[in-house]
Structure 1
Amino acid sequence: MPEPARSQELPPRLLADPEMIDACRARDFTRVFRLVKTRAGVYPSMIARRCDLTPSRVGEVMAGRRQLLHMDVVERIADGLRIPGHMLGLARRPWETPAALTTVEREPPVAPVREQETPTALPGADVDDILALASRTDLSPSTLQALRASIEDYWRRDDQHGGEALRPAVVGQLRYVTGFLKENRSAVIQQELYGVAAELARLTGWTYFDARQYSQARTYFAEALRLAKAIDDRQFMANVLACMSLQATYQDKPGDALALVRAAQDQARTADDTTPRVLSMLSMREAFAHAALGSRAATHTAIHEAHRQFEQIRSADPDPAWVTYFDEPKLIVDTGIAHGRIGEAAIAEPLIANALSREDSSNRRGRAFHAFWLARTRLHLGRIDEACHTATEALERASAVSSERVAGHLREFYGQLSPYRREPAVMAFEARLREALPRQVSGSSRS
């Protein structure tokens, strides 16, 4: 974001005002935006433009009808309005250090490596390509089956540990498979190859999404969409569009999220083999989009439809492998999260708690997400000790997973504890947090 002119910065008197300090500490953007308007003359349209928000969203916040919780949005507000990072519980922002004081560290000199210390050399990528071209034979059904089995294994490992370490292997396999697409194959084999490539592209996009590298994620999701369209796999196209819708909710673009999930539903409904489980999953993604928009009635309608479709699932349904994760505990926990997103914590809390008690323990990332959501709902209900206890239990799972999305949820929860910093349970949680994930706390601590 380009640095605004000095005339656009907030007056020092406002930044030093106790009311502004308290509003920022609590991340109460209703008060922050109102103070910025009345004390600095920065009107809602200007706030929206500087912070990359829609004017309607700013209006909802100022009217007290909406909260802004995502770290991406908090960081955009800090940078757009030039609110120092420590006031919002963020690390020092890059623009807070004058250019004249910025230092560039010199890289230490690299000692020459003696030839005998060089490890055994591997062939270059170009040689790999030549060797692969020379050795290619007709693909057999067993080869395709092995490729699909490896994708299932990638997803399991992604659930357990996060996708950061998996990404190079997944991208390499995607390139390997797309290389086969350039050769003449039978129609059946070609159809299978496109399907495998589409799944690998979606998995790659998901690993970038989990790392909050949204631009790269969107590129791979779009490629997965193109590959699925080439073989007219409308169910899988719906799946990819649903992933893109979920990403849009993380980027605080609820309008995009709703448009994408509706496109996904259109694709699914025109497919001959779409199953109730797929339609149920898509309805729940629609509920998330409506919740992000603050539309309570529409959220309830989408939740009802998700449950109605789920009740129609039969064991003989030809569910694609990529939707089997959407089981009853997942339906229940997503229902709780959707209610939580629209402020219905009393409804959300028992649903999330019930689902957590039934979820597969091997899905560490999912259980970490859901435990933090449970902690958030308990905090909103005023059960501070219980919320901190739940969050502490989630730390062990979170620390075992390489996922920036998990870290983002952790930072959001930690930020919501600001008004209760002197509570013993909160102090104990913070101490445990510093011990388990010191980097996350240092990025959110206050001086």
Structure 2
Amino acid sequence: MPDADRPQELPARLLTDPEMINACQVRDFASVFRLVKTKAGIYPSMIARRCELTPSRVGEVIAGQRRLSHMDVVERIADGLRIPGHMLGLARRAWETPQALVATDREVPYGAEPESEQRIPASLPGPDVDSILALATRTSLSPGTLEAFRSSIEDYWRRDDQHGGEALRPAIVGQLRYVVGLLKENRPPSIQNGLYQIAAELARLTGWTHFDARQYNQARAYFTEALQLAKEASDHQSIANVLACMSLQATYQDRPADSLALVTAAQDQARSTPDSTPRVLSMLSMREAFAHAILGNRDSTHQAIGEAHRQFGQIQTGDQDPAWVTYFDEPKLIVDTGIAHGRLGDSVTAEPLIADALQREDRANQRGRAFHSFWLARTQLDQGKLDQACRTATQALEPASAVASERVSGHLREFYDQLAPHRQEPVALAFEARLRELLPPVSGSLHP
């Protein structure tokens, strides 16, 4: 295909423009087409050709006389205009390049040479060569290869706990695309099934990094892809885990009824297979407790907590737990129990549970320490223990600043907002000063 006919990438400034993001999110193609015209120089006739639409139809859309909602048309627009799938609520498009391989465009004066640091080092192969070399190795996949993939995923999760997933995401997405590419070839069923499971976990991990950054639309898109991949592998435990992640996200989006429906579906999936372990069922019961607590269902919350502890008590040394649930140890069970009570407003019960778990928690888990310290501070503040609550929240700031997690940072700014009645107290002023030092304010989130 000649270069003139090949769809060009939209400018990064347009794809990151809030107006464009909002228009894509609600699929307001009248605004999308206008923005593409004014900011990318792609006129209606070119839009029509790229998206396989008639010029009159594009004109009607721009004039507000017609709306486009059919999925086939939405996909043609994404592919024709090179709008990343997640912006339109679609799965990742086949043409999207792994972020690790995308070079940032910059304007260079006519006739000038680009600066050396902008060039791809000559010692590194280009993406096309990478693809060719990958083809040469695909015939030798073995169970050992799958174990290597699983080991890298475990390392991703460990680094995510320590530093957050933002910096890891390009590598994770690149590996996800590579594994999805491997799935296009015929392989022995055991290898193919293992690849589907690995791809599902990589998609879930990618969704998690978006969720932790509070990028909920992107997270949902990747979680949905993870569900589809896990379904191809008939991996009911993995399906349950993805649904549990989506349930947790629904609590953050203030949709507790959705949260309960998703975690109930997760439990149904887990119970449909004899492979589910007590640790998996315990974790899912605790997620159910969170949903009930937000809904204010006190009795149901206590029942779910009781079931979580009952299942945990049945864990045996030889259980074949999936790697993704091994984080759910006794301190995690205890701290989640405290958080569930805290969500119910029972801070007197919650405080000692969270405090005990924090003492035993792995100190390498920076995000967990910050997150759980916030909850301890919140339960202390609910009891009127202002000095203690501010000291606890201040202690949470150091691990929070060490990990890229907008979810955790948001909780600590939320705590600051809860201090409004005490804003002039010395301990509150000290917390505010430390908060501003370690977690600079984002627009509209922290007021003087």
Write the mapping of 1:288-437 to structure 2, written as runs, cut at 5 A: 288-437=290-439
How many residue pairs get aligned? The number is 342
Question: 5+ residue gaps in structure 1?
Answer: 3-107
CA displacement 1:404-432 (0-9 Å, x = unmatched) = 10111111111100110011110111111
Matched, 1:156 2:155: no
1:443 shift after superposition = 3.7
Partner of residue 89, structure 1: none
In structure 2, what residue type is equivalent to 1:446? Answer: H
Q: With CA pairs under 8 Å and 6+ residues apart, which has the higher RCO, 1 or 2?
A: 1
CA displacement 1:161-193 (0-9 Å, x = unmatched) = 000000000000001111111111111111111
Write the mapping of 1:210-221 to structure 2, written as runs, cut at 5 A: 210-221=212-223
1:110 shift after superposition = 5.2
C-alpha distance 115-225 of structure 1, shift in aligned 2 (>3 A): closer
CA displacement 1:298-340 (0-9 Å, x = unmatched) = 1111111111111111111111111111000000000000000
In structure 1, C-alpha distance between the alignment counterparts of 2:414 and 2:203, rounded to whole Å: 30
| SS of match in other structure, 2:165 | coil
1:438 shift after superposition = 2.2
In structure 2, what residue type is equivalent to 1:307? Answer: H
1:296 shift after superposition = 1.3
Partner of residue 243, structure 2: 241
Write the mapping of 1:15-30 to structure 2, written as runs, cut at 5 A: none
TM norm structure 1? 0.73
In structure 1, C-alpha distance between the alignment counterparts of 2:183 and 2:402, rounded to whole Å: 37
In structure 2, C-alpha distance between the alignment counterparts of 1:209 and 1:444, rounded to whole Å: 19
Partner of residue 192, structure 2: 190
In structure 2, C-alpha distance between the alignment counterparts of 1:332 and 1:232, rounded to whole Å: 32
In structure 2, C-alpha distance between the alignment counterparts of 1:432 and 1:411, rounded to whole Å: 12
User: Is the CA contact 2:108–2:114 (under 8 Å) kept in the aligned structure 1?
Assistant: no
Partner of residue 173, structure 1: 175
C-alpha distance 284-109 of structure 1, shift in aligned 2 (>3 A): same
1:129 shift after superposition = 2.2
1:225 shift after superposition = 1.0
TM norm structure 2? 0.73
1:126 shift after superposition = 3.7
In structure 2, C-alpha distance between the alignment counterparts of 1:268 and 1:368, rounded to whole Å: 30
Write the mapping of 1:89-128 to structure 2, written as runs, cut at 5 A: 114=113, 117=116, 119=119, 120-121=121-122, 122-128=124-130
C-alpha distance 116-239 of structure 1, shift in aligned 2 (>3 A): closer
| SS of match in other structure, 2:328 | coil
In structure 2, C-alpha distance between the alignment counterparts of 1:227 and 1:374, rounded to whole Å: 38
C-alpha distance 116-411 of structure 1, shift in aligned 2 (>3 A): closer
1:134 shift after superposition = 3.9
C-alpha distance 168-423 of structure 1, shift in aligned 2 (>3 A): same
C-alpha distance 135-321 of structure 1, shift in aligned 2 (>3 A): closer
User: Is the CA contact 2:194–2:233 (under 8 Å) kept in the aligned structure 1?
Assistant: no
1:445 shift after superposition = 3.6
In structure 1, what residue type is equivalent to 2:384? Answer: G
1:256 shift after superposition = 0.5
Partner of residue 15, structure 1: none
Partner of residue 58, structure 2: none
1:446 shift after superposition = 3.4
C-alpha distance 203-445 of structure 1, shift in aligned 2 (>3 A): closer
| SS of match in other structure, 1:361 | coil
In structure 2, what residue type is equivalent to 1:359? Answer: E
Partner of residue 206, structure 1: 208
1:271 shift after superposition = 0.6
CA displacement 1:118-138 (0-9 Å, x = unmatched) = 532554434432332244322
1:143 shift after superposition = 1.4
In structure 2, C-alpha distance between the alignment counterparts of 1:444 and 1:423, rounded to whole Å: 21
In structure 2, C-alpha distance between the alignment counterparts of 1:420 and 1:245, rounded to whole Å: 34
In structure 2, C-alpha distance between the alignment counterparts of 1:431 and 1:226, rounded to whole Å: 46
In structure 2, C-alpha distance between the alignment counterparts of 1:116 and 1:370, rounded to whole Å: 46
In structure 2, C-alpha distance between the alignment counterparts of 1:400 and 1:446, rounded to whole Å: 23
Larger mean Cα displacement after TM superposition, 135-144 or 348-357: 135-144
In structure 1, C-alpha distance between the alignment counterparts of 2:253 and 2:280, rounded to whole Å: 24
CA displacement 1:9-64 (0-9 Å, x = unmatched) = xxxxxxxxxxxxxxxxxxxxxxxxxxxxxxxxxxxxxxxxxxxxxxxxxxxxxxxx
Identity %: 72
In structure 1, C-alpha distance between the alignment counterparts of 2:401 and 2:115, rounded to whole Å: 39
In structure 2, C-alpha distance between the alignment counterparts of 1:170 and 1:116, rounded to whole Å: 29
1:115 shift after superposition = 5.3
| SS of match in other structure, 2:139 | coil
In structure 2, what residue type is equivalent to 1:353? Answer: A
Question: 5+ residue gaps in structure 2?
Answer: 1-17, 20-105
1:437 shift after superposition = 1.6
In structure 2, what residue type is equivalent to 1:250? Answer: Y
User: Is the CA contact 2:339–2:354 (under 8 Å) kept in the aligned structure 1?
Assistant: yes
In structure 1, C-alpha distance between the alignment counterparts of 2:307 and 2:277, rounded to whole Å: 14
In structure 2, what residue type is equivalent to 1:318? Answer: Q
C-alpha distance 329-115 of structure 1, shift in aligned 2 (>3 A): closer
